[in-house]
Amino acid sequence: MISGGAKLAQPSGLPMKTGSNKVLTRRGFLKASVVSCGAAAATEKFGRPLIRRAYAGAAASAIASTNLGKLRGGFAEGIYSFKGVHYGSSTAGARRFLPPEPPKPWKGLRDALQIGPPAPQDRSRLPSAGSGMPVPDLIGPGKMSEDCLVLNVWTPGLPAGNRPVMVWLHGGSYSIGSSGAPMYDGAHLAGKHDVVVVGINHRLNVLGFLYLGKIAGEKYADSGNVGMLDVVLALGWIRDNIAQFGGDPGNVTIFGQSGGGGKVGALMAMPAAKGLFHKAIVESGSELRVNASLEADQAARKFLAHIGLTRGRLNELVNMPMEQVVAHMHSMTDPDPMGAFGPVVDGHSLSRQPFDPDAPAVSANVPMIIGTTSTEMTNLLGHAHPELFSLSEAQMRSRLKSLPGLADDSRLDAVIGAYRKDLPTATPSDIYFAVATDQLVRMDAIRQAERKAMQGSAPAYMYLFSWRTPVWGGKLRSPHGIEIPFVFENLGEARDRIGTGADLRSVADKVSGAWVAFARTGDPNHSGIPRWPGYTPKDRATMILADHCDVVNDPQKDVRLVLGTLTES
């Protein structure tokens, strides 16, 4: 854990954020990272069966009305699903880089039976199986298309009901991913807990976050945030239509992991999103700051220079085939597209930093759950460099010295000493991964919770997911993204990354139960976990989510304090 805003020397195996300075800020890490923890699309279930609500007439017609027309969905095991539902029009051609527009109404019945198209993206940025670690399917079925403004709905009943609505924002930084990935299927979560689950696709990377406001004028003033404005439009569709799917439009929770958590934070600061959601959950994605307009403008100019276009030839980029835009992203290295393109403080759709210097007033009444896993970096760094799992003491010290503030031996000794005290049996590799995790991910989560709690209008709840996966010889411990199958109740679909242990169902009961209790009431407490108090800068109550849950005040206090002395260099 480290004080906010610190820059980190580029860890081996992670893409650079931008420019030639060869450093990666922790907010840049969020945009540069992907979920490197696999989920197989297996259909076999194990353990006791999930609870599904039973309805008379299991073959009931899966028809739902919207304000644009009627939809035909699917029905299986007591759950209705509507997939590939268009909430926005195509973003191709003249609509590229512009705010989204609703689709046109239709007559008759439109099928909503298949996962919709993922946004255009550079698939080469996806993790590979080279290290032998589990590899996720972050995208799922469907062919990439700029007609990607689609969502998926899972619900236990039509249309009656007043269920909490849980809206998932997928990870993969702001550059890759899709809500159609198998690990994000919402049927089990909806069925077990009687909620409505929605997953959203939106524009990504250059097509969703290329800031052209300074280059091309007022028409493109919002171009750096159109990917987020897509999500706002989807939330508007949910407000207007979710009652027809059994959901309560007045009780909507947004939740996301990694880059999805960053999207949650950005929405918290967007005036256009005010009132469209009522609770928020950030999983391993606390991004306090996004690109300033100057940073975003520089990245856009470099992209245009990379493809050989000047301001006067912007129409060529607007009309360029999607595949060619993706190819240009693939060949670009300065800045790296995975880190350079994301939300921007443009003075239009986003007028301030999400959580810096404080929590945004526009969402002051929205309670939050915020947290991380305990060893985020074992897959994010270890996936590309498995040698990190067998560092010697000298190698560990050498790698830690590359981090800002740790070049001095006395400072480095103090940090290592704090970790030795906190983790007395830790190996050099354990300490390396712990420091990297705390610097890159956890401290921003702590600062986000601090700032939300200090606002005083709605509570923040802090967690640390510490259940250890047995796969890959147990080396990964509690890696980035490991909580997702427990949140979604997709245990059978994630055997390759969580195994088949007897404890899985119990952990899922605790985790998904807390997420749903929070979505229902704004308080995550339920009978399966100890009492979970709100987070305050004084007590710092943190729920440790594992086989046996416990609340610890200010876990790793000595580590937090010593790393807090490291200032931005």
**Buried/exposed code over 36-51 (b: 16+ C-beta within 10 A; e: otherwise):** bbbbbeeeeeeeeebe
Structure-token match 């929405």, residue found = 267
Mean pLDDT, range 212-218, rounded to an integer:
94
Residue 57: inside a domain, yes or no?
no
Residue 485 belongs to a domain with what CATH number? 3.40.50.1820
Say whether pLDDT at 115 is over 60: yes
Kindly state whether residues 399 and 523 are assigned to the same domain: yes
Query: Are 481 and 374 within 8 A, CB to CB?
Result: no
Kindly state whether residues 394 and 346 are assigned to the same domain: no
Say whether pLDDT at 397 is over 80: yes
Query: Are 314 and 213 within 8 A, CB to CB?
Result: no
Written as six digits, the tokens of 400 are 């830690």
376 catalytically annotated: yes
Kindly state whether residues 193 and 279 are assigned to the same domain: yes
pLDDT value at position 29? 57
pLDDT band at 28 (very low <50, low <70, confident <90, very high): low
User: Which is catalytic among the residues 202, 328, 383, 480?
Assistant: 480
Q: Which DSSP letter does residue 307 get?
A: T
Residue 254: inside a domain, yes or no?
yes
Relative to beta strand 279-283, strand 368-373 is parallel
Higher per-residue confidence, 126 vs 115: 115
Task: Say how many C-beta atoms besides its own lie within 10 A of residue 6's C-beta.
Answer: 19
pLDDT value at position 311? 84
Kindly state whether residues 312 and 389 are assigned to the same domain: no
Distance CA 111, CA 113 (A): 6
Query: Are 544 and 464 within 8 A, CB to CB?
Result: yes
pLDDT value at position 7? 34
Q: Which helix or strand (DSSP H or E) is residue 340 part of?
A: helix 337-340
Say whether pLDDT at 361 is over 60: yes
pLDDT band at 135 (very low <50, low <70, confident <90, very high): confident
pLDDT band at 432 (very low <50, low <70, confident <90, very high): very high
Q: Which DSSP letter does residue 58 get?
A: T
pLDDT value at position 13? 33
Q: What whole-number percentage of the chain has pLDDT above 70?
A: 89
Residue 155: inside a domain, yes or no?
yes
Choosing from 297, 329, 363, the residue where a domain stops is 363
At residue 299, the 3 state secondary structure works out as: helix
User: Which of 40-49, 210-219, 524-533 has the lowest average pLDDT?
Assistant: 40-49
- In 376-431, the DSSP E strands lie at none
Higher per-residue confidence, 389 vs 47: 389
Residue 245: inside a domain, yes or no?
yes
Residue 128: inside a domain, yes or no?
no
Longest distance between any two alpha carbons in the chain, whole Å: 73
Residue 224: inside a domain, yes or no?
yes
What total number of domains does the chain contain? 2
Nearest-5° Cα angle at 159, 153 to 165: 45
Quick: pLDDT tens for 234-268.
999 999 999 999 999 999 999 999 999 999 999 99
Domain span holding position 557: 7-36+381-563
Say whether pLDDT at 101 is over 60: yes
Q: Give which of 80, 271, 45, 360 is closest to 194, Cα–Cα.
A: 80
Kindly state whether residues 254 and 113 are assigned to the same domain: yes
> Which backbone phi and psi does 273 adopt, to 5 degrees?
-90, -5
Residue 169 Cα distances to 181, 257, 285, 490, 554, angstroms: 12, 7, 11, 17, 29
Residue 136: inside a domain, yes or no?
no
Q: What whole-number percentage of the chain has pLDDT above 90?
A: 79
pLDDT band at 360 (very low <50, low <70, confident <90, very high): very high
Higher per-residue confidence, 13 vs 327: 327
Kindly state whether residues 273 and 385 are assigned to the same domain: no
Residue 212: inside a domain, yes or no?
yes
At residue 344, the 3 state secondary structure works out as: strand
Written as six digits, the tokens of 274 are 């005010």
- Kindly tell me the sign of the dihedral angle through the C-alpha atoms of 512, 515, 519, 521: positive
pLDDT band at 225 (very low <50, low <70, confident <90, very high): very high
Kindly state whether residues 231 and 304 are assigned to the same domain: yes
Higher per-residue confidence, 202 vs 50: 202
Kindly state whether residues 311 and 267 are assigned to the same domain: yes
Kindly state whether residues 345 and 395 are assigned to the same domain: no
At residue 291, the 3 state secondary structure works out as: strand
Say whether pLDDT at 42 is over 80: no
284 catalytically annotated: no
User: Which is catalytic among the residues 258, 374, 466, 512?
Assistant: 258
pLDDT band at 34 (very low <50, low <70, confident <90, very high): low
Kindly state whether residues 386 and 358 are assigned to the same domain: no
Mean pLDDT, range 11-25, rounded to an integer:
36
User: Which of 128-142, 157-171, 173-187, 337-351 has the lowest average pLDDT?
Assistant: 128-142
pLDDT value at position 371? 98
Kindly state whether residues 294 and 343 are assigned to the same domain: yes
Paired strand residues for 71: 64, 110
pLDDT band at 9 (very low <50, low <70, confident <90, very high): very low
Say whether pLDDT at 528 is over 60: yes
Q: Give which of 35, 543, 33, 30 is closest to 288, Cα–Cα.
A: 30
Mean pLDDT, range 67-72, rounded to an integer:
97
480 catalytically annotated: yes
User: Which is catalytic among the residues 295, 376, 450, 483?
Assistant: 376
Distance CA 569, CA 557 (A): 23
Kindly state whether residues 24 and 76 are assigned to the same domain: no
Written as six digits, the tokens of 189 are 């979560």
Q: Which helix or strand (DSSP H or E) is residue 450 part of?
A: helix 443-455
pLDDT value at position 37? 45
Residue 74 Cα distances to 60, 67, 148, 150, 158, angstroms: 10, 20, 21, 16, 12
Higher per-residue confidence, 30 vs 429: 429
Nearest-5° Cα angle at 378, 489 to 36: 55
